[in-house]
Structure 1
Amino acid sequence: MAHDLTEHKLHGQALLRGGFLHAFRDEVRLPDGGTAQREYIVHPGAVMVVPLLQAADGAPRLVLERQYRYPVQRTIIEFPAGKIDPGEDTLACARRELLEETGYTAREWARAGVLHPVVAYSTEFIEVWFARGLTLGERRLDEGEFLEVFTATTGELMQWCRDGQVTDAKTLIGAFWLQNVLAGTWSLDWQPASDT
């Protein structure tokens, strides 16, 4: 039988209220009756898109990005992603981010799942969406956003994950999902863009 591991907030303090993130320190009651402090960041949530391009040989190619990430001082290979605006549906966000960052729209969409990339200190969640039947249009990058869009094979992505070139947690999870979908182990419920 599972034990109740819930921690109960006794009181809290706001440490930082930024334009994007908010940081808090709470005192909590532990399951054994003791107390502890928990510092965490409140994040609005995000989406990630695994965009599948159909190549001439029938094998899928992936739309990826290279973007400089200031906190780690590195250019990172990632799937397209972005934060959810207040009140925005996650699929609407996925469509918006795919178009803004890559210029692509998709004929079909499938929700894969959700991940919590840093559960120890953040409320962030990322909804994972797959997109296919892509049509290229014009990108609409946010002001101050600089990224390079490129395509790669699934084999190339898996090699980059294996050798440490891909270190972004959401992209590693996207590769994991992709590998299982392509192997037929996991299925996706594809829906036409007009029905979603």
Structure 2
Amino acid sequence: MDDGHLKEERVDGTLLFKGNFLEARRDTVRMPDGHTATREYVVHPGAVVVIPMLDDGRVVLERQYRYPVGHVMVEFPAGKLDAGEDPLFCGQRELLEETGYSAREWAHAGAMHLAVAYSTEIIHVYFARGLSLGERQLDHGEFLDVITASVDELLGWCRDGTVTDAKSLTCTLWLQNVLSGAWTLDWQETAANGRAG
């Protein structure tokens, strides 16, 4: 498909804010009809979310207070990519640090953009199985509870508003389709360094 009639071209830009984690920008763009407009957006380093599947059919989740929304949220384990970090390695690191679990097999499901109107954030989605429990290695200042739920419980929480986190809602869709056989995954045994074994 030719998308030229839809694309916008950056003409100028300003850095509005640069923090430890995010930056905010305001760009002037030329629209397809030749007019100009302003686009404000957040630059995000990218992230990984993991769908950890226990052998008994339950999944591993977290409960964590999220300051911007002022609520404890139920979420799948996730974390931001460090500069140049391989997404699989990031998923393995975050799963171990936050939950204490490591996995024998991993499968890359896909990627999602969380807020395309105002953020560059992309989240890589991974499934993990063959879990074994070890010691959590939480970052300083990180407080969260690790919980498990059956798929039916998780679906109920998505339906009743207990789970409202966009990445976790999307991961639940992936999980439902993988378990039904509608979507397939390419499972790989992996070593601790994030490379296929």
The TM-score bracket by the shorter chain reads over 0.9
Identity of aligned residues (%): 63
Gaps of 5+ in 1: none
State the 1:2 CA deviation: 5.3
1:77-116 to structure 2, matched below 5 A, reads 77-116=74-113
What does residue 74 of structure 1 align with? 71
Structure-2-length-normalised TM-score: 0.96
Gaps of 5+ in 2: none
2:146 is matched with which residue: 139, 149, 166? 149
State the 1:164 CA deviation: 1.0
Q: SS at 1:71's partner residue?
A: coil
Deviations 1:125-153 (A, max 9, x none): 00000000000000000111100001000
Deviations 1:158-185 (A, max 9, x none): 0000111110000001000000000000
Q: CA RMSD in A?
A: 0.9
Distance 1:54 1:92 in 2: 22
What does residue 20 of structure 1 align with? 21
Q: SS at 1:99's partner residue?
A: helix
Distance 2:161 2:60 in 1: 19
Aligned residue pair count: 192
Moved over 3 A (4+): none
Structure-1-length-normalised TM-score: 0.96
Matched, 1:47 2:48: yes
Corresponding letter in the other structure for 1:26: D
Corresponding letter in the other structure for 2:30: R
2:155 is matched with which residue: 155, 158, 164? 158
Distance 2:2 2:47 in 1: 31
Distance 2:2 2:106 in 1: 37
1:150-189 to structure 2, matched below 5 A, reads 150-189=147-186
Distance 1:145 1:170 in 2: 20
Matched, 1:136 2:128: no
Corresponding letter in the other structure for 1:181: V
Distance 2:178 2:41 in 1: 34
Deviations 1:35-74 (A, max 9, x none): 100000000000000000012xxxx100000000000000
Distance 2:107 2:155 in 1: 21
